[in-house]
Structure 1
Amino acid sequence: MYFIFEITFSSNKNYISKLIRGYANKTEIEVEIVQTKDKIVMIFNQDDEKLESFLLNMEDLLPASLFLGNANHYFSEEKPSLVAVEQSNLPVNIAPCPSCQKEMFDVSSRRFYYPFTSCNSCGSQHPFLTKYPYIRANTTMKFLVPCSECEKERETNFLRKDYPLISCIECGIGLRMLNQETEHMALNKGDYHNLFKVSAGAISTGKTVLMKTIHGYRKFFYPKPNASSIDKIKFTTNKVDIGLSKPQNTSTKHIENNVALSTLLMANSAGFNKHLMLVEQEFNALLSIERPLLRVATKSDEIKKFYGSSALVKYPDDGMTMLLAAEAVKHGLEYMAYIECSSDEEADFLVDFDMPINTQKDTKLFINQDAKFFISGERIIYPTIAKNEKARVTVAHDLACVPLEEESIIDSFSVFDSVYTSELYVLDAQKNFGNEENNQNKFEQYEASMLSVLAEYEKVGEKAIGVHFDGSLNFLYYNGKKVINAVPAIPFESDNLWEKIRTLRDGSDRLVNNYKKAYPKIWDRLDNLEGDMDVFEVTAITLGLENESFEGISSESLSFLGKGGLQIDTKIKDNRFDNYAFLTSIMSYQLGDVENNYICYSIYESFGDYIGELVPQLCDKVGSNIVVLSGETFANQSLYASIQKTLGAKKPLMNKNFPIGKENAVYGALYL
C-alpha cells in the first residue's frame, strides 16, 4: 500500500521539488518525488515511521509560492502512473527561501547580514550567470574561492549540495558605502550589519541611497510630496556591469519629485492592511518567494497622497533589499520607495559591490479574483525549458530560444555562445542576427503572441480567433497553419496629429479650434510630439496625467468607483479600430468637463464592448469557438471585467506560464 501526497504546482520550475528532494535525502526517508505539469507528487511507503514528521517539517521548510496550491492525500495499492516534466539545472532569480533568510538574521551564522545568501532552491542566481551550462566556472563567482566551511557545506548541506554559488562573509562578495566624505568597507558581520543600519537611517531622515542590488541599481528614498534631497553627489564607478537596468523614464529626478512614478516598497507585511486594499490572492502573491510587482489599490491617506488610488507595490525581493527593509522597520519606516536607475544616478549615499551582474526585467503580475497571469518581464519566468522539435533558434526582445545538447533553453541572448542553426526566426522589430539577413525568417509580434497561447493549451493546428492588444488593437485569424491579421488597426502616427484629427470627419476642425482655446499648453505639446509614440502615450498627455503611458491611464481608471461608462469611439469604418477617432472622442469629453478617471474607466469599458461585439462575429464566420487574447493592454481591471462579461461564455485563452506581453514572442515563434 502506498501513501500519496500531492501539492498543486502550476509551473515547470523545479525549485520546490528540488527542495523537497534535498530534504528527503537528508532525512533518509524512502519517497519517490515526481513533478508533473500541474502538481508535485510524493509517493511513500505507508508503513514508513518517518512519514508524519517528514510532512510536518516540510511545511516549515517550503516557501510560499505563486505556483503552489492545495494539497491532498490518498492511499493506493498501485503506484500511480505519472508523466514527469523535465528536470533541469537552470539558475533561478527569486527571493531567499525561509532557511536562507533564517541564516541572514542569525548572528551566530557565517551569513549574518550577508545579502548574497542563497541555496540550490532560492535566491538571485541568474544575475551571476555568464553562459551555459550553469556551473561555477560559467558565473562571475568563479573569481571567488570558497572557504573551507563553504567547501564542507557543498558536500554535506542538503540545501547547498554541489551549489555553484556557495559563499559567505569569509569568502564572498564585499560591500562598500560612500558619501561625499568617507568610504566604509564591510569586512565582517558587524560591518555588514552596520552598513544596512546606516543606509536605513539615512532614508528615515530624508536622504537618498543609491544601492546596487542583485537586480541592478535602485535609488531608495522615503516618499513625500515634491520629494527632494539636498547636497546630492553624482557617483561614478569604474566597474563594467553586464546589462544593468537603465532608467525607464527620461529623468529619474523627475520620478523622485513625482513619487507616484516610483515603486512602493513595503518594508514589513504588518503595514499591508493599514496602507493597501488587498484581496487574499494579492497578499499571498506579494509575500511569495517569486516576489512579483503588483498594482494594487491604496488605502491610507498618506499613501493616497503620494500615489493616488493605486500603486505599483513590491515586497523585498533580494538580499540587499530585504536587509535594508529589516533595518528600515527598526527606524520606524513601514515603507519606502525606489526607482530603477543607472550607476551614475545622483544620491546622498552609495552602497556598491564589485561583482558584475546580468539583470532581468522585473515581472508584473495581474490578479482578478481567481484569474492570475504575468503581464510582462523576465524574472520568475526565464530561463525556462521549451519544447523545440525542430531545433529552431528564435530571437525576440533580447531573449533567445537556443538548443543546448538535449534541451532548448529560453534566456537572455547574451548568455549563449555562438550558435549554428538552419532555422533562425527573428522578430521583425529586432536587430539582425547572423551574417546574412536572408538567413533569417522575420515574424510579427502578434503572430508569435497568438501561437504562444495556443501552444500552452496544446491547440496549435486548430482554427482560432485572436485579439492582440498592445498599444494597437488587432483581430487575428489562425487557420491552423498561419496567423492572419484579419482586422488590423488603422496605423497610428503621432506626428502631424492635429491635421489628421482635423480631416477625420465633418466638424473635426471645430473640435481642434475649441481644444486649442481650452487647452493651449496641451495643444502645443501635441503639436510638437517627437519619436514613435503609441496612442496610449498620446492619450495620457492629452489628459495631463503625470505618468504618460498605458500604466498611467490604467492607474487613473482604478480611481473611478461608479458603474457604467461613457461611449468612447473605437471605430469609424470596416470595424477597424481608429486611433484618431478614439482621441477625438476623448478630447470631446474633456471639453465637456468630464473627470479624467471617468474617461479612463470608459476607455477600457468601450474597448471591452467593441471586442465583445466583433469576436463572436468572427467566430461564426470561421466556425471556431477558440478565442485567444494577448497583449499587455488586457492587464486592466476594467477591461478584463468587461471582456469577462462580453466573452466569458467563450472562455478566452491567455498565457499561463509566459507573459501576455511582448516577452511571449520568443516562445510562440517556435510554432510559426
Structure 2
Amino acid sequence: MYFIFEMEFGSNKHHISGLIEAYSTSFGMACEVIHSQKHIMILFDKEDEKIESFLLGLNDILPASIFLGKSRHYFSEEKPELSAIKKVNTPLNLSLCPSCQKEMFDVSSRRYYYPFTSCNSCGSQHPFMTGYPYERTESTMKFLVPCTACQEEMKSNALRREYPLISCIDCGISVKMNDGKSERYANDKGSYRKLFEVSAAAIEKGKSVLMQTTNGYRKFFLPTAEMRLQESILLMTDASGFNTHLMMITQEFNALMSIERPLVRVSTKSDELKALYGSTTLVKYPDDGMTMLLARELVNLEVPYIAYIECDEEVEADFLVDFDIPVEAQKDSKLFINQDMKFYISGERVIFPAVVDEVRDVVSVAHDLAAVPMDDVMLLDAMERFDAIQTSRLNVLEGEEFESEHPNERRFEQWKGSMLSVLAEHNALGEKAIGVHFDSSLYFLYYNGKEVINAVPPNPFEADHLFEHIGKLREGSDRLIVNYAKAYPEIYERLDTLSGDVDIFTVTAIMLGLKEESFEGISAEALSFLGKGGIQIDTRVNNNRFDNYAFLASIMSYQLGTVDKTLMCYSIYESFGDYISEVVSQLVEKTKAKHVTLTGETLANQALYARIQRHMGMRKLLFPMNYPIGKECAVHGAIYL
C-alpha cells in the first residue's frame, strides 16, 4: 500500500523535484519522487510515521512556482505507472529557493549578503557556463577554488551535493563599487552589506546605479516624469506594496513572486504610477542575488519600487557596481496570464537550456539558439555553448546569419518551426491541424500530418509610399488621404517619409500617436480600455486575406471621426479575433483538422485572446507549454522538419 502526495506541475524543468529529493535525503525520508509530464508524485510507504512531519517541512522548503498547481493525496494498492521525464544535468537561471534566501540574510552564514548564493535547484547558474558538460571546468568560475568549508558541504549538504558552482564569501566572487572618484571592494560580510546599503541610499537620493547582475547590466533609478519610462521596467522592492500600487489578479501576483520571476505586464493602480507609466507596465520582482540584496536595502529605506533599464556597461550612471567574473546574460522572459491560462511570450531565461527526451540526427538553428543531439537527448541552448558538432542534417531559420557550409543545410520559415513546436509538445505530430501564426504578419497554416503548408499567406506590406497604396484601395480613398493630411499634418508627414523594414503595428502606433511606437504600445493601450465592446476595424478583403492598407485606411477614417484611440486599440484586437475565428472555422470545416495551434507574439494580447476564446473555445486550441509563443520556439520545432 502506497501513500501518494501528488502536485500538478506543468513543466519539464527539474528544480522542484530536485528540491524534494534533496529535502528527503536531509530529512532521512524513504520515498520515491516521480516527475511526469503534468505531475510530481511523492510515493511513501503507508506505514511510515514521519509522513506528516515530512510534508509540513516540505511546505517551508518549496518555493512558489508558476508551474505548480493543485495538490492532493490518496492511497493506492499499486504503484502508479507513469512515464518519468528524463533528468539531464543542465544549468538553471532562477531566483533563490527559500533555503538559499535564508542563508543570504542570516548574519551567521558564510553567505551573508553574498549575491552569488545558489544550490543545485536554484540561482543564476547558466550565465556562468561556457559549454557542456555542466561542470565547473566549463564555467567562468573555474579559476576559483572552493574553500575547505564548501568542499565539505559538497559532501554533506544534500542541496549542494557535487554542486559545480559552489562558492561563498571566503572563496567566491568579490564585488566592487566605483563612484567616479574611488573604488571600494566587498570581500567580507560587513563590506558586502555596506556596498548594497550605499547603492540603495544613492538611488533613494535620486542618483542612478549601473549594476552588473547575473542577468546582465541594469541601470537602477527612481522613476520620474522627466525620464523616458516606456523602455524601463518597474521593479517592486517589497511585496507589501503590490496592492497599493498595482491592480492584479491572484495568478499575476503568484507569477511575480515565483522562483521563475518572469516579467509580467500589470495594470497600475496608484495615481503616482499611473502618472509615470500610464495604465499598464512591465513589472519584475527581484530575480537574482544582486537585485534581491539591493531591494532589501531599499525596503529598509521605505522605497517601495524603483525602475531599471537593461543596458550595457558603457551606459552613464552616478555609481557603477560590478564584478570581475564574466557572465553571459540571457534575454529575460515575459509571461502571458489570462485567468488559468499562462504561457511564455518571449525570452530565454528559465526556458533554456531545454531538453527533448529523444535524439534525432539533426541540428537546428534559430535566433542564436541551437538544438543539438547530446547523448540520448536533444539539448537546446545558446549556440555559443556548443563546440563543433557532426550531423547529417542542418535546419537553419530563414534570414539567420549562420554560415555552415554543410552539404545538407535546409532553410525553414518561422511559422513552420513554430507550429511544429506546439504540435510536438502536445504529442499531436501526424494528426491534421490548422495553425494561426501571428507576429508582424498573419498566417493561416495547414498541417496534413506530414508537413506544414502556408494555406492563407499574408499580403505583403511596405511602409514605403504608404499613402500611394492606401489611395489605390477603392473610390474615395484619395479623398480620405487629403482629409487626413489636413487633420493630422505632423503624423501624415512622418508616415509619408517612412522607409525600410517597418511593420504594420509600428505604423499603427505612429498613426494613433502612441508614446511607445510598437505592438507593445498598442497592446498596453488596449489593456486600459474599460468599455464592454469595440468597433469593427477592417481586417479582410474578398479573398479572405488580411489587407494591411484597408486596415490602416479604416483606422484613418475612425480618427477623422474623432474615435478615442484607446477604443481603437482595443477594437483592433477584437476585430482580428473575429477574423481569425472565421477563417479558422472555414479551414477546419474543409480539412476536418483535429487541432488548432496558436503561435506568434501578437496572440499574447488580452483582448485578442479573449475574443478567440469566445469564438473558438469549444475547439481544441493548442498553446505552447514549455517554449515561448514567440520566435524562440522555432529552434524546437525545426527538430521535426
Amino acid at match of 2:512: L
Aligned to 2:297: 327
1:408 matches 2:378? yes
1:357 matches 2:327? yes
1:434 matches 2:404? yes
Moved more, 90-99 or 45-54: 45-54
Q: Which residue, out of 453, 457, 460, partners 1:484?
A: 453
Aligned to 2:248: 278
Does the CA-based 8 Å contact 1:388-1:670 persist in structure 2? no
Moved more, 93-102 or 37-46: 37-46
1:649 matches 2:606? no
Does the CA-based 8 Å contact 2:359-2:376 persist in structure 1? no
Aligned to 2:274: 304
Q: How many residues align structurally?
A: 641
Amino acid at match of 2:507: V
Does the CA-based 8 Å contact 2:360-2:378 persist in structure 1? no
Moved more, 79-88 or 341-350: 79-88
Structure 1 residues 606-652: Cα deviation after superposition (integer angstroms, max 9, x where no partner): 00111111111111111224211111111111101100111111131
Give the secondary-structure state (helix, strand or coil) at the position aligned to 1:649: coil
Q: Which residue, out of 440, 444, 465, partners 2:413?
A: 444
Moved more, 380-389 or 390-399: 380-389
Change (3 A) 1:142 1:16: same
Structure 1 residues 376-414: Cα deviation after superposition (integer angstroms, max 9, x where no partner): 111111111114442211111111100112221000111
Aligned to 2:239: 269
1:668 matches 2:637? yes
Structure 1 residues 319-376: Cα deviation after superposition (integer angstroms, max 9, x where no partner): 0110111111111110000010111001111111111111111111111111111111
Give the secondary-structure state (helix, strand or coil) at the position aligned to 1:347: coil
Aligned to 1:386: 356
Aligned to 1:120: 120
Amino acid at match of 1:579: N
Amino acid at match of 1:75: F
Aligned 1:81-160 pairs, distance under 5 A: 81-160=81-160
CA distance in 2, matches of 1:265, 1:668: 34
Structure 2's unaligned 5+ residue stretches are: none
Amino acid at match of 2:23: Y
Amino acid at match of 1:337: A
Structure 1 residues 72-96: Cα deviation after superposition (integer angstroms, max 9, x where no partner): 1112222222211101101110001
Does the CA-based 8 Å contact 2:96-2:123 persist in structure 1? yes
CA distance in 2, matches of 1:606, 1:80: 47
1:630 matches 2:599? yes
Give the secondary-structure state (helix, strand or coil) at the position aligned to 1:475: strand
Aligned 1:432-511 pairs, distance under 5 A: 432-436=402-406, 438-511=407-480
How many percent identity over aligned positions?
A: 61
Amino acid at match of 1:276: L
Aligned to 1:574: 543
CA distance in 2, matches of 1:503, 1:71: 60
Does the CA-based 8 Å contact 1:260-1:306 persist in structure 2? no
Aligned to 1:658: 627
Structure 1 residues 539-568: Cα deviation after superposition (integer angstroms, max 9, x where no partner): 111111111111100000111101111111
CA distance in 2, matches of 1:29, 1:110: 28
Moved more, 333-342 or 454-463: 454-463
Amino acid at match of 1:306: L
Question: In the TM superposition, what is the alpha-carbon distance from 1:261 to its structure 2 partner?
Answer: 2.7
CA distance in 2, matches of 1:111, 1:474: 52
Aligned 1:311-322 pairs, distance under 5 A: 311-322=281-292
Structure 1 residues 94-133: Cα deviation after superposition (integer angstroms, max 9, x where no partner): 0011111111111111111110000000001000010000
1:618 matches 2:575? no
Structure 1 residues 238-257: Cα deviation after superposition (integer angstroms, max 9, x where no partner): xxxxxxxxxxxxxxxxxxx2
TM-score, structure 2 normalization = 0.98
Structure 1 residues 161-209: Cα deviation after superposition (integer angstroms, max 9, x where no partner): 1000101111111111111212111121111111111111111111111
CA distance in 1, matches of 2:204, 2:221: 8
1:26 matches 2:26? yes
Does the CA-based 8 Å contact 2:363-2:371 persist in structure 1? yes
Question: In the TM superposition, what is the alpha-carbon distance from 1:439 to its structure 2 partner?
Answer: 2.7
1:599 matches 2:561? no
- Runs (4 or more) in structure 1 with deviation over 3 Å come to none
Question: In the TM superposition, what is the alpha-carbon distance from 1:155 to its structure 2 partner?
Answer: 1.2
Aligned to 1:37: 37
Amino acid at match of 1:520: P
Aligned to 2:4: 4
CA distance in 1, matches of 2:357, 2:401: 25
Aligned to 2:526: 557
CA distance in 2, matches of 1:442, 1:261: 34
Amino acid at match of 1:217: Y
Give the secondary-structure state (helix, strand or coil) at the position aligned to 1:140: coil
CA distance in 1, matches of 2:402, 2:155: 45
Amino acid at match of 1:325: A
Moved more, 212-221 or 3-12: 3-12
CA distance in 2, matches of 1:316, 1:106: 18
Moved more, 14-23 or 512-521: 512-521
Question: In the TM superposition, what is the alpha-carbon distance from 1:50 to its structure 2 partner?
Answer: 2.3
RMSD: 1.1
Question: In the TM superposition, what is the alpha-carbon distance from 1:455 to its structure 2 partner?
Answer: 0.9
Give the secondary-structure state (helix, strand or coil) at the position aligned to 1:144: coil
Aligned 1:98-247 pairs, distance under 5 A: 98-226=98-226
Question: In the TM superposition, what is the alpha-carbon distance from 1:432 to its structure 2 partner?
Answer: 2.7
Aligned to 1:241: none
CA distance in 2, matches of 1:292, 1:339: 15
CA distance in 1, matches of 2:380, 2:263: 22
Does the CA-based 8 Å contact 1:196-1:327 persist in structure 2? yes
TM-score, structure 1 normalization = 0.94
Structure 1's unaligned 5+ residue stretches are: 227-256
CA distance in 2, matches of 1:261, 1:129: 29
Does the CA-based 8 Å contact 2:418-2:633 persist in structure 1? yes
CA distance in 2, matches of 1:620, 1:158: 56
Amino acid at match of 1:584: A
